[in-house]
Amino acid sequence: MNQLALLQNALVVGAILFSLGLVGILTRRNLIVMFLSAELMLQGISVSLVAWSRYHGDFGGQVLVIFVLTVAACEAAVALVFVLQAFARTGRLDSAAWQSLRESNLPRRVDHELPAIDTVPPSFPRLTPAGVLPAADENDLLQREHV
């Protein structure tokens, strides 16, 4: 197997993952999705590192990926706490909710009214009624609906 070709292909995969993560972190406004995008970028980096490690026959790259993993875990812990705090303050997971650092005379960015989604109400599989319908918990239904 051509080692150079393998390296190059793995690097391209890493680059694609990195770029996708970058686009995600630039565009998505949900804090959690932004976070996922960041993790995607880390994955791209990890692939590249392992590819180079393989190419050189050196474990340094893999060791580095282990540390990346560690740091990602720490980052996730701390950042998710911050996300929760931010949510506690605004009631939203919106990154655009935090724009008080803008120039004083610029208007606040306001989202335009969005067209309604023509989503079909979720249809859940139903059993043939064979007895008394079990009483569904209202909260439970609510939780499921938006997943």
Partner 1 sequence: MIAVALPSPGVLLAGAVTAAAVSLWLLLPRGRDSRPARWLGGLLGAAALAGFVLTGRRLGGLGEEAVFLIVSLVAVISGAATIVSRSPVYSAIWFALALAGVSGVLLVLGAQFLGVATIVVYAGAILVMFLFVLMLAQPAGLAPYDRVSNEPLLSAIAGATLLGLLTLSIGRLSADPSCCQMPSKAAAMAAGTAGTSVDAAHAGDAIDAAIATDPLAADQVARLGGELFGRHLLAVEAAGVLLLVALVGSIAVVSRHGDPSGELAPARRAAS
Partner 2 sequence: MSPATLLVLVPLLPLVGAILTVALGRRLGSRGHLPAIAGIAAAAVVAVSLLLGLGREVGIGDAAHAPTARPVEMITTLWEWAGVDAAYSPPAGSPAAADTARADGATDLRSFSIPVALRLDPLTSTLLTIITCVGLLVAIYSIGYMHDDPGYPRFFALLAMFVFSMSMLVAASNFLLVYVFWEAVGACSYLLIGFWFTKPEAARAAKKAFLVNRVGDFGLAVATFLLWMTYGTLNFHDTLSADGTILPGILGQSRIADAAGYVGGAVGTAICLLLLLAACGKSAQLPLHVWLPDAMEGPTPASALIHAATMVTAGIYLVARCAPLFVVCPDALTMVSIVGTTTALVAALIGTVQNDLKRVLAYSTISQLGYMFASLGTGTMLGFTAAIFHLVTHAFFKALLFLGAGSVMHSMGGVIDMRRFGGLRRLMPITAATFLIGSLALAGVAPFAGFFSKDEILAALHSKGWPDAHGEHHDTAPASGHAAVRLPAADSGPNTAPASTMHFVSMKTAAAADAPVLDRPRTWQTLFWMSLITAGLTAFYTFRAVFMTFTGPLRVPDEAGHHAHESPPVMTIPLVILAVASAVSGWWLFATHSLSTFLAATPSLTAPAVTATATPPAFHFDLALQGTLAAALGIAIAAVGHLGRRSDGPQIERFLGPIGTLFANRFFIDQLYKALIVKPLEGVALVAAAFDRYVIDGLVDGVARIPLALGAWARHLQSGLVQRYALVGVLGTLLIMLALAARLR
Site for partner 1 in 32-71 (CB under 8 A): 32-33, 35-37, 39-40, 43, 46-47, 50-51, 53-60, 62-63, 65-67, 69-71
Spatial CA neighbour of 29 closest among 111, 103, 102: 111
Spatial CA neighbour of 55 closest among 5, 7, 94: 7
CB of 121 to partner 1, least distance (A): 12
Q: Which does 92 bind (CB under 5 to 8 A by kind): partner 2, partner 1, none?
A: partner 1
Question: Which residues lie closer than 8 Å to 61 by C-beta, 6 or more apart?
Answer: 49, 50, 51, 52, 53, 54
- Summarize as ranges the residues that interact with partner 2 (CB under 8 A): 22, 25-27, 29, 34, 95-96, 98-103, 105-106, 109
State which residue, 25 or 50, has the beta carbon closest to partner 2: 25
Question: Which residues lie closer than 8 Å to 14 by C-beta, 6 or more apart?
Answer: 44, 45, 46, 47, 48, 51
Residue 141 contacts partner 1 per CB under 8 A: no
Span near partner 1 by CB under 8 A; candidates 72-80, 123-131, 132-140? 72-80
